[in-house]
Structure 1
Amino acid sequence: MRNSSVRNNGDDGLAVWTSNVNGAPAGVNNTFSSNTIENNWRAAGIAFFGGSGHKADRNVIVDCVGGSGLRMNTVFPGYHFQNNTGITFSDTTILRCGTSQDLYNGERGAIDLEASNDSIKNVTFTNIDIVDAQRDGIQFGYGGGFSNIVFNSVTINGTGRDGITTSRFSGPHLGAAIFTYTGNGSATFNNLQTSNIAYAGTNYVQSGFNLTFN
């Protein structure tokens, strides 16, 4: 999917949900490039729910007021990321995305990674600009585990723009740069730059989750 405009969706703007019905093979090597996604009122701008080799690059995601700009999860049936050898997100701007109250009364980061049923692994984010996140900038959740999650040259300028502190997943807090409500996993950040972070501690991280900053 290239050079397209997606507006006012009531679910993910662009998504890969790889089915295993009737023995279908896992979806692999899908690309979302140079698209604009605006005004989603539910779910995310771009989402990958399983498979391997997917790429999302040079996208602009604006005002996903009911969910995240980019998301991955292992909630839905079908193939997850057991055989993922590498998924990449790059050169993308996420403006005014995320929420403190999605349709299930949970907060979602501008980037939201949710390992509920299986692990999320082998994912790289490069040259991502998060601007004015409504709640948290980057969010990790549930206990399925995270491994080889790498962020290169990510900027987070502005979090907690909605001013809400209540949380379904943790103690009350304003929007953090990085928020984890799981202790199972790790992520590496190379050249992370943050500014205008609402949460006084910058990152709200559950014990056991390992963040490495270079």
Structure 2
Amino acid sequence: SQDNTDIGFRAEASAKGSSFTGFAYFGNYTSRIDGPGKVFDFQNVSDITIDDIWNEHMVCLYWGANTDRMTIKNSRIRDMFADGINMTNGSTDNLVANNEARATGDDSFALFSAIDAGGADMKNNVYENLTTILTWRAAGVAVYGGYNNTFRNIRIADTLVYSGITISSLDFGYPMNGFGTDPTTFENITIERAGGTFWKGQDFPAIWAFSASKVFQGIRVNNVDIIDPTYHGVMFQTKYTGNTPEFPVKDTVFTDVSISGAPIGIYVNEMPEAGQGPAVGEATFVRPKFSNNGQNTKNDTSTFKLTMQP
């Protein structure tokens, strides 16, 4: 008769070199409770392997604060109330590979460059060979700040209310580092039927580029296919404080991105919600491909420059 039972693993630094391999972990969560409910709740540990785990009905599979050289691979994540895997607070040199997430209640695979619990920049992390489907709240893949992080060889399908990929410098009210000058790279990704309506009725795209409370720069998106998004293929947005934009989009390049079946292929949002303003900054698209879109590009602002290179 129990539910929302907080069971899982924590580890001390002396657990360096340990492995958690080959078991299932079926929880009994019926609602989201921020804090408990993490299968692996790690802080200030390194060199641990998590391999071949099947996890259902918890809040998160993995939450790592200042965790380095971790490997999370070959695992299934099902029916969660928050993130599948989220690394934060200076987690570096980690590998997340060959995992599938289905029906997570927050970002399926995320990096968040917060510094509230120690650590510094999020860097040198690789997320590869991943599948994320039916995310019912938030994005399939999300990155908030950091640099030299790579997301590659990923399929994202059927997000319900949010973007397929979120690229954001929003700090959520936490101490956080923005994006560094070294690149954050997304490559070889397919996004199918992504996007939805959330947060005060705002429509979200397959890829959401949101320049907000910290620096937004160094973004590279290469070889991405966006297929039948619910609303926009790629959307740019900027957060305002009063009438002042916080940080612009800069040094952002999309190369060999195809968008098909979108109401709007590339959209520079001129007014996402009341009290905000148009996107600010610039982005370059190299060899974009459009097909069967209602409108390929829409930029009705004077504050954002879209450059298209053949």
TM-score (norm 2): 0.61
Q: 1:141 to 1:183 in 2, by over 3 A?
A: closer
Map of 2:298 onto structure 1: 204
Map of 2:198 onto structure 1: 102
Alignment-mate amino acid for residue 111 of structure 2: V
Q: 1:72 to 1:78 in 2, by over 3 A?
A: farther
* 2:255 pairs with 1:152: yes
Determine the C-alpha separation between the residues in 2 that align with 1:71 and 1:82: 13
**Structure 1 residue 23 displacement after superposition:** 4.2
**Structure 1 residue 82 displacement after superposition:** 4.6
Map of 2:63 onto structure 1: none
* 2:137 pairs with 1:49: no
Map of 1:27 onto structure 2: 122
Bigger Rg over Cα? 2
Alignment-mate amino acid for residue 160 of structure 2: V
Determine the C-alpha separation between the residues in 2 that align with 1:96 and 1:79: 31
Query: For 1:121, what is the secondary structure of its paired residue?
Result: coil
Q: Alpha-carbon deviations, 1:107-134, whole Å to 9, x = none?
A: 1110001112123101111100000000
Map of 2:184 onto structure 1: 87
Q: Alpha-carbon deviations, 1:67-94, whole Å to 9, x = none?
A: 1111111222232325341110000000
Map of 1:67 onto structure 2: 162
For structure 2, the residue ranges without an aligned partner over 5 or more in a row are 1-95, 239-244, 270-277
Determine the C-alpha separation between the residues in 1 that align with 2:147 and 2:248: 17
- Identity among equivalent positions (%) equals 27
Q: 1:33 to 1:82 in 2, by over 3 A?
A: closer
Alignment-mate amino acid for residue 98 of structure 1: G
Among 236, 244, 250, which residue is 1:140 paired with? Answer: 236
Q: Alpha-carbon deviations, 1:9-67, whole Å to 9, x = none?
A: 01101000122125421221111101000000111000000111110000000001211
* 2:227 pairs with 1:123: no
Query: For 2:104, what is the secondary structure of its paired residue?
Result: coil
Contact 1:42 1:103 (8 Å CA) reproduced: no
Map of 1:179 onto structure 2: 267
Among 81, 92, 108, which residue is 1:13 paired with? Answer: 108
Determine the C-alpha separation between the residues in 2 that align with 1:15 and 1:78: 17
Query: For 1:177, what is the secondary structure of its paired residue?
Result: strand
Give the count of matched residue pairs.
Answer: 196
Alignment-mate amino acid for residue 127 of structure 1: N
- CA-atom RMSD, angstroms? 1.4
Contact 2:169 2:179 (8 Å CA) reproduced: no
Contact 2:226 2:258 (8 Å CA) reproduced: yes
Map of 1:165 onto structure 2: none
- Poorly superposed stretches of 4+, deviation over 4 Å: none
For structure 1, the residue ranges without an aligned partner over 5 or more in a row are 160-174
Point out which structure has higher relative CO (alpha carbons under 8 A, 6+ apart): 1
